[in-house]
Amino acid sequence: MDLRFTPEMEGFREEVRTFLTKHRDRYVGDAVRPREAALEWQRLLIDHGYAARTIPREYGGYGAEPDILKTRIIAEEFTRVGAPRGFANQGISMLVPTLLEVGSEEQKKRWIGPTLRGEVVWCQGYSEPGAGSDLASLQTKAVEDGDDFVISGSKIWTSTAAQADMIFCLVRTEPDAPKHDGISYILFPMTTPGIEVRPLTTMTGSAEFNEVFFTDVRVPKSGVVGGRGRGWFVANATLKHERGMLGDPNATEARLHALIELMKTESVDGRRLIDDPVFCDRAMQLQARVLTMKFNGLRNLTASMAGEASGMAGLVVKLQGCELNHQIAALAIDALGELGVLYEDGPHLRAKGSWQWNYMFDLGLIIGGGTAQIQKNIIAERGLAMPREPKLASA
């Protein structure tokens, strides 16, 4: 254990700080369909290696050697001053790593650069109404016709489908193969005729997701990534990246900080919320959990720097992190009392209703990206080497 940073790393931190001070008036946040100023900020970040840091130059990245510590320093410094860290959409976080891993040279050259720069927006077509946790049972079919596939079926939980230019999609290309071997991972434009997007409104009141319907959608076979029938294995590489994204301890720490500030500033009957022993105790319970997951994250970081598998300490991050975020929002609502149920704009609303929004949205994150129950199966089977549920004879 030695948590100090070397002089080289402290020097790098200084560089990042100088950059952030110099460009303070250019901070522009993320949006699904970025404005020109946001695209400019993104390009600036890539030029300086603060976004797309380890993506090779020939594909439009900065081309630095992977250095987890520098990546962390960048994250810390951007968080510290509240600077937008560049785009974190599904194209960048999931498609780009997948293409780098299994894409053809032509696919990498064509898609990675524009995706990184925010010029091409993607959506993810994985889940279906009948294929959620059992994703491999997906039924959207792609029938071969000359140089094309003709796609029919539907997808659900497709965030950003309405704004996306392109989709990376799982389709069944080999109907007679065993279920894991019949899937292909394919890229095609959302402007292709036969695609219909319907917003899916959730309990938050907004449509964070969509349903997407395909009726005889004709797309070129050249969009297949990683080989025909290999889609399940390609997708698993991508899901690994998604699970890393859900349960980021820095975001959780920031939320706890906001909770404690809220409890110090809000009063009921003239008493600060933090001075209520019950609420104070609950806040301390959550602080212990936040610190625990933060240190667990440092431990995982050290393991990945050494090229070691993080084992159990890595397997539990999604389950524990998403639940913890949800619990922090829950305590904020409880401590606010009746004010905690306000949601729409009004004179008594706190934090623009974000505690309620987070409380509801985070329940979706507990379910999405592999439900809590699927996570427990993974922890038990991969982490504790416990047996799988026996398959039913009919399945």
Partner 1 sequence: MDFSITADQRLMQESLARTLEAAAPLGRVRRFAADRDEAGADVWAALADFGLPGVIIPEEHGGLGLGLLDAALAAEALGRAVAPAPFLGAVAASVALTRGGSAEQQARWLPGIASGKVVAGLAIGEAVAGARDGMGVKASGGKLTGGALFVTDAMIADLFVVADTSGGLHLVAADAPGLTRSVVTSIDLTRRLGELRFDGVPAEPLAAHTLDAVRDAAWTLLAADTLGAAEVMIEKAVAYAKERRQFGRVIGSFQAVKHMCAEMAAELEPCRALVWYAAYAFDDAPAEASLTAAHAKAHTSEVGRFIARTATEVHGGMGITDLLGLHYWFKRIGLNRQLLGGPERVRRIAAQIQGLAA
| Axis crossing angle, helix 68-81 with helix 277-305, rounded to the nearest 10 | 150
287 binds partner 1 (CB under 8 A): yes
CB of 296 to partner 1, least distance (A): 4
302 binds partner 1 (CB under 8 A): yes
- Copy the structure tokens of residue 318: 């999604």
Residue 331, class by beta-carbon neighbours within 10 Å (0-12 exposed, 13-18 middle, 19+ buried)?
A: buried
283 binds partner 1 (CB under 8 A): yes
Cβ proximity to partner 1: between 181 and 334 the closer is: 334
In angstroms, rounded to a whole number, what is the distance separating the alpha carbons of residues 318 and 299? 15
CB of 271 to partner 1, least distance (A): 12
CB of 280 to partner 1, least distance (A): 5
- Which three-class secondary structure state does DSSP give residue 199? strand
Cβ proximity to partner 1: between 25 and 306 the closer is: 306
Task: State which of positions 43-72 bind partner 1 (CB under 8 A).
Answer: 69, 72
- Which three-class secondary structure state does DSSP give residue 182? coil
Whether the Cβ atoms of residue 161 and residue 167 lie closer than 8 Å to each other: yes
Cβ proximity to partner 1: between 306 and 395 the closer is: 306
CB of 98 to partner 1, least distance (A): 27
CB of 13 to partner 1, least distance (A): 12
| Phi (first) and psi of residue 155, to 5 degrees | -120, 155
Cβ proximity to partner 1: between 223 and 297 the closer is: 297
In angstroms, rounded to a whole number, what is the distance separating the alpha carbons of residues 340 and 251? 22
289 binds partner 1 (CB under 8 A): yes
Binding mask 246-265 for partner 1 (x = CB under 8 A): --------------x---x-
In angstroms, rounded to a whole number, what is the distance separating the alpha carbons of residues 353 and 156? 27
295 binds partner 1 (CB under 8 A): yes
Cα–Cα distances (Å) from 58 to 41, 217, 394, in that order, read 20, 32, 50
Active site residue 242: yes
Cβ proximity to partner 1: between 32 and 291 the closer is: 291
Binding mask 1-20 for partner 1 (x = CB under 8 A): xxxxx---x-----------
Give the H or E element holding residue 209: strand 209-220
Give just the sign of the alpha carbon dihedral 41, 47, 48, 52: positive
Cβ proximity to partner 1: between 18 and 373 the closer is: 373
In angstroms, rounded to a whole number, what is the distance separating the alpha carbons of residues 204 and 211? 17
Q: Annotated catalytic residue: which of 101, 208, 242, 323?
A: 242
Applying CB under 8 A, the span of 172-180, 223-231, 236-244, 295-303 interacting with partner 1 comes to 295-303
31 binds partner 1 (CB under 8 A): no
Active-site positions read 242
